[in-house]
Amino acid sequence: MNNILKKSIKIIISTGQGRLHLFESAASLKKLGMKVKVITGWVPSIRTPDYLLNFLGKIIGRTNLAYGLRKRTSTLINRNEINNCTYSEFFIQFLFFLSKFRIIKRETAATIGWKAYGTESKKFIKDCHIFHVRSGAGKGGAINHAKKLNIKVVVDHSIAHPKELYNQVLKANNGIKYDFLDPNNLFWKMVVDDCHQADMIQVNSQYVKDSFIENGFLESSISVIHLGISDKFYNLKKTYSINGGVKLLFTGGFGLRKGGGIIIKAVSMLIDQNIKFRLDIVGSILNDLEIPEWFLKNSNIHLHGHLPQNRLMRFLSESDLYIFPSYSEGSAQSVKEAMAAGLPVITTKESGSPIISGESGLLINSNSPPDLFEAIIKLKNNEKHRAHIGDNACNIIKLDHTWEKYAQNTMTMYNKLLSFNL
> How confident is the prediction along the chain (422 residues), in pLDDT tens digits per residue?
444 455 578 999 999 987 668 999 999 999 999 999 999 987 766 676 766 756 666 666 666 665 666 566 666 788 889 999 989 988 998 999 899 899 999 999 999 999 999 999 999 999 999 999 999 999 999 999 999 999 999 999 999 999 999 999 999 887 667 777 899 999 999 999 999 999 999 999 999 999 999 999 999 999 999 999 999 999 999 999 998 999 999 999 999 999 999 999 999 999 999 999 999 999 999 988 999 999 999 999 999 998 989 999 999 999 999 999 999 999 999 999 999 999 999 999 999 999 999 999 999 999 999 999 999 999 999 999 999 999 999 999 999 999 999 999 999 999 999 985 43
Query: Of the candidates 238, 262, 396, which has an alpha carbon nearest to the alpha carbon of residue 323?
Result: 262
Query: Of the candidates 414, 404, 82, 363, which has an alpha carbon nearest to the alpha carbon of residue 227?
Result: 404
Q: Check: CB of residue 332 under 8 Å from CB of residue 252.
A: yes
Q: Enumerate the β-bridge partners of residue 132.
A: 13, 154
Q: What b/e readout covers 38-67, taking b as 16+ CB neighbours within 10 angstroms?
A: bbbbbbbeeeeeeeebbebbeeeebeebbe
Cα gap 323→368, rounded to integer Å: 13
Query: Of the candidates 180, 182, 136, which has an alpha carbon nearest to the alpha carbon of residue 158?
Result: 136
For position 405, what pLDDT does the model report?
97
Task: Identify the CATH homologous superfamily for domain 6-228+402-417.
Answer: Glycogen Phosphorylase B; (3.40.50.2000)
Gap between the terminal Cα atoms of the chain: 13
- Where does residue 374 rank: exposed (0-12), middle (13-18), buried (19+ CB within 10 A)? middle
CA distances from 160 to 32, 139, 156, 210 (A): 29, 20, 12, 9
Q: What CATH number does domain 231-400 carry, 3.20.20.70, 3.40.50.150, 3.40.50.2000, 3.40.30.10? A: 3.40.50.2000
**Given this chain, do its domains 6-228+402-417 and 231-400 carry the same CATH topology?**
yes
Count CB atoms within 10 A of the CB of residue 323. 26
Q: Check: CB of residue 130 under 8 Å from CB of residue 151.
A: yes
Q: Check: CB of residue 339 under 8 Å from CB of residue 315.
A: no
User: What are the residue ranges spanned by the domains of the chain?
Assistant: 6-228+402-417, 231-400
The length of the chain in residues reads 422
For position 7, what pLDDT does the model report?
56
Cα gap 259→84, rounded to integer Å: 35
- What pTM did the predictor assign? 0.92
Q: Are strands 35-40 and 82-84 parallel, antiparallel or unpaired?
A: parallel
Q: Check: CB of residue 328 under 8 Å from CB of residue 172.
A: no
Which 8-state DSSP code applies to residue 254?
Answer: B
For position 421, what pLDDT does the model report?
40
Cα gap 215→207, rounded to integer Å: 13
Cα gap 248→318, rounded to integer Å: 10
Query: Of the candidates 118, 111, 115, which has an alpha carbon nearest to the alpha carbon of residue 133?
Result: 118
